[in-house]
Structure 1
């Protein structure tokens, strides 16, 4: 498919308490876009920051006319910040990346090149993750492989949210009102022509990670319950195992008289533990249904800035 030879590329950056490094991020990105042939807009989504991140971005708006800011009324989460950002983006293509610059802007030209070749989605595939603990690397690797094995769609290994998406892909994603989205899975689900660009992830330049173990586990559960029914099938398997254990234990007790108190207590705890695990898995799926049924807004935007200036510029150009 032929692409616009003078396109507008939107870069969406979720931001949560990045005061220590956000000014450096803006300077690096502005230096990058100034050297590119395409036009760029930078859309920062303030995901309920309680530091000066939003104020620093607003200061930068006075210096650069391609900066836009979307401010949530509170913290709604990284995935919903991405969702809001792509909905506000007006580019022919949209790049999603984190504001800590671990995903380097130097990879974007390769993505744009693939886009011009006709690919609708170009995702970054990590070859190396600098500056992260062995546990973070091991747990992330295990998650991607478990999800890849269990998911009912092909979610590429070792890929995060760093990717370029064509406007038609963004239009489809903008219509998907999932209350707890797993964006990288949704992008795989919509299809279109997709390919990878390999890169080495850099070490965070400032601040601390905003994805501790608890959030990683939550994201993992979202990914699995959104795109796989294997846990529900495992519940059935576990149920049959519990029944089999009960029958076998009953026959052993009946014909051998082997029925000690310790074994009975052990069996009881095992069965209760498996039952609780099964109930937890089913509850995770039911909660997703409950969240959807409430029909609340996915997020609340307190205010935006930078978009009015952009619209006036477009209107001025159209009237010339």
Structure 2
């Protein structure tokens, strides 16, 4: 899918856009020590005249990521560092960054520079045209493995068929959002957060800009197959009830088939005077229905488990500190 294929919502009446907006870059960091040194210089080289706020979220890193971020904060007043109390995951870390961002526009992006800073200038052009959301669309995924490309394509198609909220294909978290969009997203309180779905759910006028995703500048990916599988499962369960409905239809079909087959067995017995022996077929039927029941219970369990998490009403994340100019400016610090 190209940027031209993305659904474009009609532009609202023209609103004044600032000529020199404050751009908040929200950067979740988990063990990104090797990439941090190159990040700010790359952004400054791409946007030399822009007013920028760097919102780094340390998501429970076990290396020296936090040490480097605090050093950046002491030396650069544009840098804000949120230190989460543990590893909450990228979606929650991104949420924390959106909560802290104060810019007129906000751009979530990765620290490894696979989201090219040069693209932000094009985002701003589309924003000034009147669009509230500008997606980065991956036009070339040849650097991804064949299996990853195929599974990503299957996921987008499967998700968009099941969910009432459509997400654009080949679009990650890298995008520019107007302040009005960010304020809307931060009002959504759910604990199981699939940010691509939440960004799409709030709506607003949107468009896309194509780009080729480069290699990581440093470090290694933290998303293996199992994490990606759980991530996809969270997205589908969070935005669609179709997996629950399927078992209603399947149960109805099985029940109808059972009635028809039961009638056939009764008729055959009445006509021929004996039932049909069939231990093997009986075992196959029992095992098949048992498997169906276990699968359906598992899917119901996925939804019930999310209800269980939501009813606890725990906070989305806990911060050990929020640092500006190297000083902790969080409420906890002021209370002390």
Q: Same fold (TM over 0.5)?
A: yes
Pick the aligned partner of 2:34 from 6, 13, 20: 20
Task: Provide the secondary structure at the position in 1 that maps to 2:34.
Answer: coil
Per-residue displacement from partner, 1:233-290 (whole Å, max 9, x unpaired)? 2121121132134334433443443341111111111111111111111222222222
Question: Contact 2:30/2:61 (CA < 8 Å) preserved in 1?
Answer: yes
Alignment partner, residue 30 of structure 1: 44
Alignment partner, residue 286 of structure 2: 268
Alignment partner, residue 294 of structure 1: 312
1:219 equivalent to 2:237? Answer no
1:109 equivalent to 2:104? Answer no
Pick the aligned partner of 2:103 from 66, 91, 106: 91
Question: Contact 1:253/1:259 (CA < 8 Å) preserved in 2?
Answer: no
Point out 4+ residue stretches in structure 1 off by more than 6 angstroms: none
1:58 equivalent to 2:70? Answer yes
C-alpha separation in 2, matches of 1:270 and 1:244: 16
Alignment partner, residue 11 of structure 1: 25
Task: Provide the secondary structure at the position in 1 that maps to 2:211.
Answer: strand
**Deviation of residue 10 (structure 1)?**
0.2
Alignment partner, residue 41 of structure 1: 53
**Deviation of residue 7 (structure 1)?**
0.8
Task: Provide the secondary structure at the position in 1 that maps to 2:266.
Answer: helix
C-alpha separation in 1, matches of 2:215 and 2:276: 60
Pick the aligned partner of 1:180 from 189, 192, 209: 192
Question: Contact 1:131/1:204 (CA < 8 Å) preserved in 2?
Answer: no
**Deviation of residue 107 (structure 1)?**
1.2
**Deviation of residue 189 (structure 1)?**
1.0
CA-based RMSD of the aligned residues comes to 1.9
C-alpha separation in 2, matches of 1:259 and 1:306: 79
**Deviation of residue 160 (structure 1)?**
1.1
**Deviation of residue 121 (structure 1)?**
0.8
Task: Provide the secondary structure at the position in 2 that maps to 1:122.
Answer: strand
Structure 1 171/189 Cα, relative in aligned 2: closer, same or farther at 3 Å?
A: same
Q: Which runs of 5+ in 1 are unaligned?
A: 312-320
Question: Contact 1:130/1:201 (CA < 8 Å) preserved in 2?
Answer: no
Question: Contact 1:129/1:202 (CA < 8 Å) preserved in 2?
Answer: no
Task: Provide the secondary structure at the position in 1 that maps to 2:33.
Answer: coil
Question: Contact 2:134/2:208 (CA < 8 Å) preserved in 1?
Answer: yes
Structure 1 131/60 Cα, relative in aligned 2: closer, same or farther at 3 Å?
A: farther
Alignment partner, residue 242 of structure 1: 254
Alignment of 1:192-231 (within 5 A): 192-231=204-243
Question: Contact 2:75/2:325 (CA < 8 Å) preserved in 1?
Answer: no
C-alpha separation in 2, matches of 1:8 and 1:91: 5
Q: Which structure has the larger Rg?
A: 2
C-alpha separation in 2, matches of 1:23 and 1:179: 32
Aligned length: 309
**Deviation of residue 22 (structure 1)?**
2.2
TM-score where L is the length of structure 2: 0.87
**Deviation of residue 58 (structure 1)?**
1.7
TM-score where L is the length of structure 1: 0.91
